[in-house]
A = this chain, B = another copy of it.
Amino acid sequence: MHTPDSAATPADLVSIDEIRAAATRIAPYATRTPLLAPPLGDGWAGLYLKPEMLQPIGAFKIRGAVSAIAALDPEVRRRGVATHSSGNHAQAVAFAARAFGIAAHIVIPDVAPERKVAATRALGAEVELVPMAERVSRAEQVAATTGMTLIPPFDHRDVIAGQGTIGLEIAEDLGPLPVPVTTVLVPVSGGGLISGIAAAIAALAPGVAVIGVEPELAGDAAASLRAGHRIAWDAAQTVRTCADGLRVPEIGALPWEHIRRQVADVVTVTEDEILAATRRLALDARLVTEPSGAVPVAAHLFHAGRLPAGGRVAVLSGGNIDPALLATLVQ
């Protein structure tokens, strides 16, 4: 396990003050999710759940998108927003844009699930499907030619501060728990979620380890942490995982600064473990989770030996699963 060097945290990391300010901005739009007690049944003991599928769009991404859009100068905001996303960030930006009464242009990789594309359109956003490799350049082009502001999915400090409000809430709720929590388990894709949470936990509960969880098939963050520098995977590799929200092939630059300083470890789980965790969440915790959101639970249920002893929190990042997959899993 990597030893985080939080003493060396430079001034340009996202601060707890920025996360507190984001909490104020998002309060009217996002749900303050509870920290749920461990479900009953085999293997759950000691695992508290942070159910972000209970957000209006079914995923934590609403926090970062609202945080960033609410922080814009009103004059700039009026010109609208653009972004690129494999799914939940798209819905989040569309939701936030609608809440502020502004236009949204969303560039979505053509491998994204149809259900997420349709949900984004239903929120009133203009959706453009492009090949995975062109998503970033196309969104930047849209922003440059229209005057819309680009709201990146993870490599942006107001977005990271918004996701960090999850860590703020976890820290607030850690106090009265019967089993003391040693570890917060967080899915890793581009790194925005775990960066924000790690920043909040480092400030408010520095004795608690923040540990990332990834699919083996998209293990770029684990490889990066082992190597000591960012390692990009090929999108053709990461597209193989069923965890469609975790296919981003490289951690963002600012997230990497947080991860290497404030994240204790990144562990990986298999596809079968992810699907089993998704099933167990539906039946034992009555929560519909998408595979991307179930990866931290897979780490607790199947790899407890690779994690610190004591109580753990699993951040369940979203619930936008394909209904046919859910039906197959719970059968």
Expressed in whole angstroms, the Cα–Cα distance for A235 and B122 within the complex equals 45
Expressed in whole angstroms, the Cα–Cα distance for A328 and B28 within the complex equals 36
Residues of B within 8 A of A39 (CB): 56
This chain's copy number in the assembly = 2
Say whether A34 contacts B32, CB under 8 Å. Answer: yes
Expressed in whole angstroms, the Cα–Cα distance for A326 and B320 within the complex equals 16
Say whether A54 contacts B331, CB under 8 Å. Answer: no
Interface centre among A57, A285, A288, A328 (most CB of B within 10 A): A288
Is A36 in contact with chain B by the CB < 8 A criterion?
yes
Interface centre among A41, A58, A119, A123 (most CB of B within 10 A): A58
- A contact residues, range: 35 or more
Expressed in whole angstroms, the Cα–Cα distance for A323 and B53 within the complex equals 20
**Contact A119/B56 with A32-B34, A288-B286 known, Cβ cut-off 8 Å:** no
Within 8 A of B (CB), among A271-301: 282-283, 285-289
Is A64 in contact with chain B by the CB < 8 A criterion?
no
Residue in B37, B38, B287 whose beta carbon sits within 8 Å of that of A287 in the complex: B287
Say whether B40 contacts A286, CB under 8 Å. Answer: no
Residue in B40, B54, B319, B327 whose beta carbon sits within 8 Å of that of A330 in the complex: B327
Is A219 in contact with chain B by the CB < 8 A criterion?
no
In the assembled complex, the CB of A75 is this many whole angstroms from the nearest CB of chain B, namely 25
Residue of B nearest to A289 (CB): B286
**Contact A40/B331 with A286-B53, A286-B58, A287-B286 known, Cβ cut-off 8 Å:** no
Which residues from chain A sit less than 8 Å from chain B, CB to CB? 28, 31-34, 36-41, 51, 53-54, 56-58, 95, 119, 122-123, 178, 282-283, 285-289, 319-320, 323-324, 326-328, 330-331
**Other A-B pairs, 14, CB within 8 Å; known A34-B34, A40-B56, A40-B123:** A31-B34, A31-B36, A31-B37, A36-B54, A38-B56, A54-B285, A58-B286, A283-B323, A286-B287, A286-B288, A286-B320, A287-B287, A323-B330, A327-B328
User: Which 9 pairs of residues, A with B, have the shortest CB-CB distance?
Assistant: A286-B319, A286-B288, A53-B286, A327-B331, A327-B327, A323-B330, A327-B330, A37-B56, A326-B330
